Amino acid sequence: MIKLLLLIVLFIIFFPIVKMWMLMRRARRNMEDTYNRVRQREQEIYADDKRFGSEVGEYADYEEVRGATRETATESTGPVRTEEQVVDADFEEL
């Protein structure tokens, strides 16, 4: 009688715990496999970081725009240089 009770309790408690552990283990393994496959695919895609070789394209030389100056702000700024504003539309008040 005690053996039968022990078997029943064992199946009621132990079997669901083992089954849940197996499900969690399978889910973890599936997630790790998916992660590893994605990581491997990304490594294959981005194996060569250099997208364009030195022989592709052409070098475009640039020109400095006349009259353009670069000024940096400091604590003791001098007089502010104002530039002429370009206006392409007239403002009319309604």
Q: Identify the pLDDT of residue 67.
A: 66
Is the predicted pLDDT of residue 88 greater than 80, yes or no?
no
CA 9 – CA 78 distance, rounded (Å):
90
Over residues 21-63, the pLDDT tens digits come to 999 999 999 999 999 999 998 888 776 666 666 677 666 666 7
Contacts of residue 3, defined as CB under 8 A and 6 or more positions apart, other chains included, come to none
Confidence at residue 92, expressed as pLDDT on a 0 to 100 scale: 74
